[in-house]
Structure formats: C-alpha cells, structure tokens
Amino acid sequence: MTDQANVRVLLLESIHPDAVSRLEAAGYQVESVRNALDEVELIERIKGVHLLGVRSKTQVTAKVLEAADSLVAIGAFCIGTDQIDLGAASQAGIAVFNAPFSNTRSVVELALAEIIAMTRRLTEKNNLMHEGVWDKAAVGSHEVRGRRLGIVGYGNIGTQLSVLAENLGMHVSFYDTADKLALGNAQRCASMDELLATSDVVTLHVDGRPGNAGFFGAEQFARMRPGAIFLNLSRGIVVDHVALRESLASGHLVGAAVDVFPTEPKGRGDEFVSELRGLPNVILTPHIGGSTEEAQSDIGDFVANKLALFVREGNTTLSVNLPTITLPATTGTSRIIHVHLNMPGVLAQVNSILAEHSVNVEGQLLSTRGEYGYLITDIGGSYSADVLDRLRGMSQTVRLRVLS
C-alpha cells in the first residue's frame, strides 16, 4: 500500500462529504454509498477495498472480514463500534477507529430539547393546535428546574448532559457499572433501582454490546416513579419497546423520547415499523442524535484523518482494538508494521532477523494490548525480500505491512 492512488475506500451510509474530500485529497479512490449494506451485499463489495467507513447500521461481521482480502482499517463514523466484530478485526490485524467525542454535544442537546418538550407537554399542545383546538391549560406542564434527572451510563455523553442539565437547574443522579467521578453536584446512585425510584426523568446512555440486549424492560419501567419520563438515545436493542408501550398506555409513564430502535430501516424513505407509533406522548426520531451538520462534519474529518494517517504512517492513536502507538515518521527510511500475538521474545526475534540481514534500525516502538502486540520499526537503506518473508513466517505474526 505504498502507492496512494491504489488505495480503495468504500464509505457507506451517506458519510459526510468532508470525509470524502479528505480521503480524496490523500490520493485515494473513494466510493461513497448512500445506504447501509447487509452482510451479503457487503461481502460482494469488500474485495479489493483497503479502507471501509460505516456508521451505525452496517454490520461488519466475521464473515465480512474473512472476505476482505485487502482491508487494513475500518472507520466507524460515529461513537459506537458494537456493529463491528472487533475480535475478528484484531485477529486479521485490521485497525478500527471511531469518533468518541465528535457528536457528543449534538446528542446532549437533543436530549435536553426532548426533556423540556415533554415536561412542558409541547408535543400534545402542538398536535391540538394543528387540530384547531386551543388548550391553554397549565395542567401537567412543568418547569425542568428543580426536577431530578437520572442518567444511566455516565460516559462522554452522560457527563456532558449532567453538567448542562445542572445549568438548567435540574438535580442530577447517575448510575454506572464503572467507578465514575461525579461532575458538579451530581449524585452517584448505588444501584439502578435507587435511580429509577427517585428520578423524574430517566435517560439511557449505554453501549450496544450483546450483554446489554433487553437491559431495560418491564421490571425497570415498573420501578420508575409514576408520572416519570423516559429517554433512549443510545442503542435500540437495550430497551423492550413492548414493555415501554404498556407503561405509557397505562399512564405509569407520562412521556417518552426514543431515537434508536431494535430494527431500523436501511435507508431514507423506507417504512419505519415500531410498537411506539401512534402514541401521542412519545417523540420518535430516526436515529438523529448525532445528525447535525456540525457533528457529521467533525466526525467525517476526524475519522478520515485517522484512516489516512494509519495508511501513511501506521500509527494507531485512538484505535479501539489494536495497541495504541505513535512513532513520528522520518525521511529516508522504510517502515515495517508488525502485528503479532502478544508472546515473550517477539521483539528479540524480529531484531535478530534484521541483524542477520544487516538491516539498520533507525527507530522502533512496541506496544501491547491484551492478546496482541503492535511493533513499528523504521529501517534505513535497502533490504531483501527474504527479510519480509522471514518476518511473515514467524509463528506469532498476525499481519505485516511495509510503508515507504
């Protein structure tokens, strides 16, 4: 992959034009597709592709990765990476990058807007006005100031929401399975039950790992305060939508806002099917938490830069699956990237092979992460094909790349 013009890029799900421009500026051949692809379609399209870009709908499975004969990196142009088989990617020496911070503000602003809209009953008032009904009554309409927001999942989005909600005068509680530092006056709950029992608004910000499927169902809705509001802007599989509908229909919950769904249409204009359609006290949005022009531009630029740098220099800064390593590029050298199983003696073996062939090492850096190691070696002068054959032939070698 030393010839930039031969690098093929496949971008799916209408990734922002800024990403296309950035990758084309690097000299790559870029194909941008509007919709997601299913597994069969992606297997047919992945051959010969060096860089793959996806958002949240496309599932990059082990079968897809097995069919990817040229793939070196995947860019998730979003926060989550649960749509990618990270284990299979690591086994193939394929780096995965995402945008962990770029759309945080957009998701938080949508959550706040929905909290205010439902607390003030704006959706119901709006519907009545369109039907010609003038209902100026304040019954059931409240300020958000003084009400308690319960945040389940206190990561990048949860923490920023916590701070902004406090600035609106809300009290904030949060629950997270990891030990997280509370920001501002937020209160950590010892259990999710404690959070559910005390919160006027509950919002989910958890990831979509398989273990979280069905995470929030009838039992959790029953433990929420009567008259509470529920939001999910995380992943669709974590919520039982039948149980949510029942809680809303019974009046136990007075409102909900849902941006993500267990099954979502592949593309714009396709029919959306959900148990939550038709409920007057529910705000439904088509997975637009991070869909602002600002966020998508930032994501496109951020992930595209990571992919381009990885192709050019082999650096893995902020990779979600391979060891993180950065070695500044030098002129007049060739760079060997060696992804390997994390076992004792690999570095000594690599350097022994280089020494046997009188190859001079100009710079070298090794990092490990779990089962895998990532070694960058800059070498000066010429080297024979036998050097690369010996390195590829090591029993610990997962993948070898050479950058000039």
Amino acid in position 56: S
Which one from 205, 287, 340, 390 is the annotated catalytic residue? 287
Rounded distance, CA 145 to CA 2, Å? 58
Q: Which residues lie closer than 8 Å to 332 by C-beta, 6 or more apart?
A: 380
Structure tokens at 335: 């760079």
Which one from 39, 264, 313, 362 is the annotated catalytic residue? 264
Question: For 344-371, what is the mean pLDDT?
Answer: 96
**What per-residue confidence (pLDDT) applies to 1?**
46
pTM for this model (two decimals): 0.81
Residue that the structure tokens 């949060």 belong to: 174
3-state secondary structure of 365: strand
Q: Are strands 397-403 and 333-341 parallel, antiparallel or unpaired?
A: antiparallel
**235 given a catalytic annotation:** yes
Lowest mean pLDDT among 5-9, 341-345, 353-357: 5-9
Which one from 16, 22, 235, 340 is the annotated catalytic residue? 235
**What per-residue confidence (pLDDT) applies to 5?**
62
82 or 394: which leads in pLDDT: 394
1-103+292-321 is a CATH 3.30.1330.20 domain: no
Nearest Cα to 115, choosing from 50, 55, 166, 75? Answer: 166
Structure tokens at 279: 């409920």
Name the pLDDT band for 208 (thresholds 50, 70, 90): confident
Work out the mean pLDDT of the chain and round it to a whole number. Answer: 95
**264 given a catalytic annotation:** yes
**What per-residue confidence (pLDDT) applies to 330?**
87
**What per-residue confidence (pLDDT) applies to 266?**
77
**287 given a catalytic annotation:** yes
Write out the residue limits of the CATH 3.40.50.720 domain(s) in the chain.
1-103+292-321, 104-284
Q: What is the DSSP string of 3-40?
A: -GGG-EEEE-S---HHHHHHHHHTT-EEEE-SS---HH
Residue that the structure tokens 């909600």 belong to: 165
Which CATH number does 104-284 carry?
3.40.50.720
Tell which CATH architecture fits domain 323-404: 2-Layer Sandwich (3.30)
Lowest mean pLDDT among 3-17, 158-172, 351-365, 389-403: 3-17
Write out the residue limits of the CATH 3.30.70.260 domain(s) in the chain.
323-404
Rounded distance, CA 354 to CA 63, Å? 35
Quick one: DSSP state of residue 96? E
